Amino acid sequence: MTDGIPVVKMNGSGNDFVLVDERFSPLADPFAFAVRICDRVKSLGADGLLLVGTSAAYDVRMRIINADGSEAEMCGNGIRCVARYLDEHDNKAPVVVETLSGPVAARVLERDPYRIAVEMPEPRIGIPHEVAGFTVTPVDVGNPHVVIRVDFVEAIDLAVVGPRIERDPRYLDGTNVHFVAFESGEWRVRHWERGAGATKACGSGAVAVAAVLIVGGDALSPVTLQVPGGVLEVAWARGERATLTGAAVREFEMLV
């Protein structure tokens, strides 16, 4: 037995996280811990660190620290992981989770395997503009995104184009980048997440993509999106919050 920190490795449609319950194991420096634990070469590896804490008004508070040590306002896939953790650890479902972008409700639809629906913030679509040779549509889902329509998502050199758009000077705090194409009868998406890089899924990004497709008349709600880590479904009507549905997987638990 060690005096280490208990962690739970989880993923939401392949978007993977290390979860720490700070109600019982507070971290002295969560930013340094995130950088260390999310390193895929020297440690467990993850897209981000999920911190579960107490909330004065809701069931729990969630913070998301990206792999580079920056803090995100919101994380749709992370919320699903937190919801599964609370269902199994606290026997509590549904839940309302406090985030930097406001309270977010989540409910368990299935448990074998876990499938969870999250009531995401209402997506707010901005004016399309040109960045790095692409026409991008900005979308605010409690955190910043840009959505880019292309013919084939695999034709995009994500490692080059993603950071160029993420760090464009017009996005003062950076932005999440999503490429979407209609291929072989389905909508396919690739993600470049601010602070994490290429990820297998981005929940709030999926909401942003679906909103752009619905407003543009290209798809009807609910929209099914094929992402590198699986499938995400987004239901949305203008003027309302969006509902994001997807998997939540617990990989393992350990002390670090």
Structural domains of the chain sorted by starting position, each given as residue range(s) with its CATH number in brackets: 6-120+247-255 (3.10.310.10), 124-241 (3.10.310.10)
Q: What is the pLDDT of residues 51-90, one digit of tens each?
A: 999 999 999 999 999 999 999 999 999 999 999 999 999 9
- Assign 2 a pLDDT band (cuts: 50, 70, 90): very low
For residue 95, the Cα-to-chain-centroid distance in whole angstroms is 18
Kindly list the catalytic residues.
75, 202
Please state, in angstroms and rounded to a whole number, the distance separating the CA atoms of residues 39 and 106. 29
Tell how strand 242-247 and strand 230-235 pair up.
Answer: antiparallel
pTM score of the predicted model: 0.94
Q: What percent of the chain has pLDDT over 70?
A: 99
Tell how strand 186-193 and strand 223-227 pair up.
Answer: parallel
Structure tokens at 126: 């901005």
Q: Is 1's pLDDT higher than 50?
A: no
What are the φ/ψ torsions at residue 122 (nearest 5 degrees)?
Answer: -65, 125
